[in-house]
Amino acid sequence: MIIVLLGPPGAGKGTQSKQLVKHFGIRHLSTGDMLREVRQQNTPLAMEIAEYIDSGRLVPDDLIMKLVENRLAQPDCQHGCLLDGVPRTLAQARILDDLFRRCGWVLDHVIALDASPADLVDRLLGRAKVEGRTDDTPETIQRRMEVYERETAPLLDYYCGKGLLRKVSAMGTLEEVSRRILAATGGEPQGSGR
Protein backbone atom coordinates (compact mmCIF):
# COMPACT_ATOMS: atom_id res chain seq x y z
CA MET A 1 0.00 0.00 0.00
CA ILE A 2 1.25 3.47 -0.86
CA ILE A 3 -0.31 6.57 0.67
CA VAL A 4 0.55 10.23 0.10
CA LEU A 5 -0.38 12.59 2.92
CA LEU A 6 -0.70 16.21 1.84
CA GLY A 7 -1.45 19.26 3.93
CA PRO A 8 -0.24 22.74 4.80
CA PRO A 9 2.38 23.28 7.53
CA GLY A 10 0.87 22.59 10.95
CA ALA A 11 -1.95 20.37 9.65
CA GLY A 12 -0.55 17.44 11.66
CA LYS A 13 0.95 15.34 8.86
CA GLY A 14 3.75 13.99 11.07
CA THR A 15 1.47 13.03 13.96
CA GLN A 16 -1.14 11.42 11.73
CA SER A 17 1.52 9.59 9.73
CA LYS A 18 2.74 7.85 12.87
CA GLN A 19 -0.78 6.51 13.55
CA LEU A 20 -1.34 5.44 9.96
CA VAL A 21 1.92 3.54 9.50
CA LYS A 22 1.18 1.62 12.70
CA HIS A 23 -2.29 0.74 11.48
CA PHE A 24 -1.20 -0.37 8.01
CA GLY A 25 2.23 -1.80 8.92
CA ILE A 26 3.98 0.32 6.31
CA ARG A 27 7.06 2.58 6.41
CA HIS A 28 6.92 6.25 7.27
CA LEU A 29 8.92 8.30 4.78
CA SER A 30 9.09 11.92 5.94
CA THR A 31 11.20 14.13 3.70
CA GLY A 32 11.36 16.79 6.44
CA ASP A 33 12.85 14.21 8.86
CA MET A 34 15.24 12.96 6.17
CA LEU A 35 16.47 16.50 5.49
CA ARG A 36 16.80 17.31 9.20
CA GLU A 37 18.95 14.17 9.55
CA VAL A 38 21.22 15.20 6.65
CA ARG A 39 21.56 18.70 8.08
CA GLN A 40 23.13 17.26 11.28
CA GLN A 41 26.18 16.28 9.25
CA ASN A 42 29.05 18.68 8.88
CA THR A 43 29.07 18.85 5.08
CA PRO A 44 28.48 21.53 2.42
CA LEU A 45 25.22 19.74 1.51
CA ALA A 46 24.05 19.93 5.13
CA MET A 47 24.70 23.68 5.17
CA GLU A 48 22.84 24.15 1.91
CA ILE A 49 19.84 22.19 3.22
CA ALA A 50 19.83 24.16 6.49
CA GLU A 51 19.52 27.39 4.50
CA TYR A 52 16.47 26.14 2.64
CA ILE A 53 14.74 24.80 5.73
CA ASP A 54 15.45 27.81 7.93
CA SER A 55 14.21 30.24 5.31
CA GLY A 56 11.02 28.24 4.69
CA ARG A 57 11.89 27.59 1.06
CA LEU A 58 11.71 24.24 -0.72
CA VAL A 59 14.81 22.18 -1.37
CA PRO A 60 15.29 21.77 -5.17
CA ASP A 61 13.19 19.02 -6.76
CA ASP A 62 16.10 17.00 -8.16
CA LEU A 63 17.87 16.87 -4.80
CA ILE A 64 14.82 15.81 -2.78
CA MET A 65 13.67 13.27 -5.36
CA LYS A 66 17.10 11.63 -5.42
CA LEU A 67 16.85 11.16 -1.64
CA VAL A 68 13.30 9.79 -2.00
CA GLU A 69 14.23 7.41 -4.80
CA ASN A 70 17.14 6.01 -2.78
CA ARG A 71 14.94 5.61 0.27
CA LEU A 72 12.16 3.86 -1.66
CA ALA A 73 14.69 1.38 -3.04
CA GLN A 74 15.50 0.13 0.48
CA PRO A 75 14.11 -3.31 1.39
CA ASP A 76 11.97 -1.99 4.27
CA CYS A 77 9.91 0.09 1.82
CA GLN A 78 8.99 -2.85 -0.37
CA HIS A 79 5.85 -3.65 1.64
CA GLY A 80 4.47 -0.16 1.24
CA CYS A 81 5.02 3.27 2.61
CA LEU A 82 3.41 6.50 3.59
CA LEU A 83 4.88 9.60 1.96
CA ASP A 84 4.75 12.54 4.36
CA GLY A 85 5.92 15.88 2.95
CA VAL A 86 6.45 14.69 -0.60
CA PRO A 87 5.46 15.50 -3.28
CA ARG A 88 5.40 19.24 -2.64
CA THR A 89 5.49 20.46 -6.24
CA LEU A 90 3.92 19.30 -9.50
CA ALA A 91 7.40 18.41 -10.77
CA GLN A 92 7.92 16.13 -7.74
CA ALA A 93 4.51 14.50 -8.29
CA ARG A 94 5.40 13.73 -11.91
CA ILE A 95 8.80 12.31 -10.94
CA LEU A 96 7.07 10.14 -8.34
CA ASP A 97 4.49 8.91 -10.87
CA ASP A 98 7.29 7.98 -13.20
CA LEU A 99 9.17 6.18 -10.42
CA PHE A 100 6.06 4.20 -9.43
CA ARG A 101 5.42 3.29 -13.07
CA ARG A 102 8.98 2.02 -13.51
CA CYS A 103 8.73 -0.04 -10.31
CA GLY A 104 5.23 -1.36 -11.08
CA TRP A 105 3.87 0.19 -7.90
CA VAL A 106 0.41 1.70 -7.46
CA LEU A 107 -0.41 4.83 -5.49
CA ASP A 108 -3.50 3.82 -3.48
CA HIS A 109 -4.58 6.98 -1.68
CA VAL A 110 -3.84 10.69 -1.50
CA ILE A 111 -5.15 12.22 1.70
CA ALA A 112 -5.24 16.01 1.94
CA LEU A 113 -5.49 17.42 5.46
CA ASP A 114 -7.53 20.58 5.48
CA ALA A 115 -7.58 23.48 7.99
CA SER A 116 -7.86 27.26 8.02
CA PRO A 117 -4.57 29.18 7.82
CA ALA A 118 -5.32 31.06 11.08
CA ASP A 119 -5.70 27.79 13.03
CA LEU A 120 -2.51 26.45 11.49
CA VAL A 121 -0.42 29.48 12.42
CA ASP A 122 -1.61 29.16 16.04
CA ARG A 123 -0.67 25.49 16.08
CA LEU A 124 2.77 26.14 14.61
CA LEU A 125 3.54 28.88 17.09
CA GLY A 126 2.50 26.47 19.89
CA ARG A 127 4.72 23.75 18.41
CA ALA A 128 7.66 26.18 18.30
CA LYS A 129 7.54 26.41 22.09
CA VAL A 130 7.43 22.62 22.57
CA GLU A 131 9.71 21.29 19.82
CA GLY A 132 11.96 24.26 19.11
CA ARG A 133 12.05 23.64 15.36
CA THR A 134 14.32 26.14 13.63
CA ASP A 135 11.67 26.86 10.98
CA ASP A 136 8.76 27.62 13.34
CA THR A 137 9.48 31.36 13.64
CA PRO A 138 6.67 33.78 12.64
CA GLU A 139 8.49 34.93 9.45
CA THR A 140 9.34 31.40 8.32
CA ILE A 141 5.84 30.14 9.08
CA GLN A 142 4.47 32.90 6.84
CA ARG A 143 6.88 31.97 4.05
CA ARG A 144 6.05 28.24 4.37
CA MET A 145 2.32 29.03 4.11
CA GLU A 146 2.92 31.07 0.94
CA VAL A 147 5.10 28.33 -0.53
CA TYR A 148 2.40 25.77 0.25
CA GLU A 149 -0.29 27.80 -1.51
CA ARG A 150 1.85 28.48 -4.55
CA GLU A 151 3.74 25.19 -5.01
CA THR A 152 1.84 22.45 -3.20
CA ALA A 153 -1.86 23.36 -3.29
CA PRO A 154 -1.98 22.74 -7.09
CA LEU A 155 -1.37 19.07 -6.28
CA LEU A 156 -4.94 18.83 -4.97
CA ASP A 157 -6.28 19.34 -8.51
CA TYR A 158 -3.59 17.07 -9.92
CA TYR A 159 -4.59 14.12 -7.72
CA CYS A 160 -8.29 14.94 -7.90
CA GLY A 161 -7.98 14.57 -11.67
CA LYS A 162 -6.54 11.10 -11.14
CA GLY A 163 -9.46 10.18 -8.85
CA LEU A 164 -7.12 9.61 -5.88
CA LEU A 165 -7.76 12.61 -3.64
CA ARG A 166 -9.69 12.46 -0.34
CA LYS A 167 -9.96 15.69 1.67
CA VAL A 168 -10.07 15.28 5.45
CA SER A 169 -10.60 18.00 8.04
CA ALA A 170 -7.51 18.39 10.21
CA MET A 171 -9.48 20.02 13.02
CA GLY A 172 -10.35 18.09 16.20
CA THR A 173 -8.44 15.67 18.37
CA LEU A 174 -5.68 13.41 17.09
CA GLU A 175 -8.08 10.43 17.34
CA GLU A 176 -10.89 12.18 15.48
CA VAL A 177 -8.62 13.13 12.60
CA SER A 178 -7.11 9.62 12.57
CA ARG A 179 -10.56 8.06 12.32
CA ARG A 180 -11.46 10.33 9.40
CA ILE A 181 -8.29 9.40 7.57
CA LEU A 182 -8.85 5.69 8.12
CA ALA A 183 -12.41 5.99 6.83
CA ALA A 184 -11.10 7.82 3.75
CA THR A 185 -8.60 5.03 3.06
CA GLY A 186 -11.12 2.25 3.51
CA GLY A 187 -9.63 1.53 6.95
CA GLU A 188 -8.02 -1.76 6.06
CA PRO A 189 -4.56 -2.55 4.73
CA GLN A 190 -5.81 -3.83 1.38
CA GLY A 191 -5.68 -2.41 -2.10
CA SER A 192 -2.66 -2.45 -4.36
CA GLY A 193 -1.61 -6.02 -3.67
CA ARG A 194 1.86 -4.68 -3.06
Distance in angstroms (rounded) separating the CA atoms of residues 141 and 54: 10
Q: Given the rule CB under 6 A, which of 31-39, 40-48, 95-103, 119-127 is the region that contacts ligand AMP?
A: 31-39
Q: Given the rule CB under 6 A, which of 21-29, 55-63, 97-105, 177-185 is the region that contacts ligand AMP?
A: 55-63
Catalytic annotation present for 88:
yes
* Choice between 26 and 49, CB closer to ligand AMP: 49
Q: Which residues of 64-93 are buried (b: 16+ CB within 10 A; e: fewer)?
A: bbebbeebbeeeeeeebbbbbbbbbbeebb
Catalytic annotation present for 144:
yes
Residue 169, phi then psi, degrees to nearest 5: -65, 135
Distance in angstroms (rounded) separating the CA atoms of residues 130 and 179: 25
CA torsion, points 33, 36, 37, 39, in degrees to nearest 10? 160
Size of the site for ligand AMP (CB under 6 A): 17
**Cis before 75? omega within 30:** no
Lay out the site mask for ligand AMP across 78-107 (x = CB under 6 A, - = otherwise). Answer: -------xx-x---x---------------
Considering 27, 127, 166, 179, which one is annotated as catalytic?
Answer: 127
Q: List the one residue from 5, 64, 107, 111 that touches ligand AMP (CB under 6 A).
A: 64
Q: Given the rule CB under 6 A, which of 50-58, 74-82, 123-131, 159-167 is the region that contacts ligand AMP?
A: 50-58
Active-site residue numbers?
13, 88, 127, 133, 144
